[in-house]
Amino acid sequence: MNAEDVELCRVYGQMSREYLGERSWDECESQLREGWLRLRRNPDVSWEDAAPLVQTFWELTPVSPA
């Protein structure tokens, strides 16, 4: 995984959290996996590789009030 892949994980995690709001990671993970497989630029970066980083950025992103 290179710096561009990490940056994509950051953006994806943050934007997904902003979009999905209060929903839990466990509730959203299958949807996030599907999105990652469409979005990733590098086909060698599997969801299993990306998920820990996406989840970290997801958890660091504050949830906006509705």
In the chain, what are the domain boundaries?
A: 3-15+24-60
Cα separation, 18 vs 56, in Å, equals 14
The per-residue pLDDT for 66 is 58
> Which pLDDT tens digit goes with each residue over 8-59?
999 999 999 999 988 999 999 999 999 999 999 899 999 999 999 999 999 9
Cα separation, 34 vs 63, in Å, equals 22
Q: Compute the C-alpha angle 52/57/35, nearest 5°.
A: 70
> Which pLDDT tens digit goes with each residue over 1-10?
999 999 999 9
State yes or no: pLDDT of 65 exceeds 90.
Answer: no
Cα separation, 64 vs 49, in Å, equals 28
Burial tier of 33 (Cβ tally within 10 Å: 0-12, 13-18, 19+):
middle
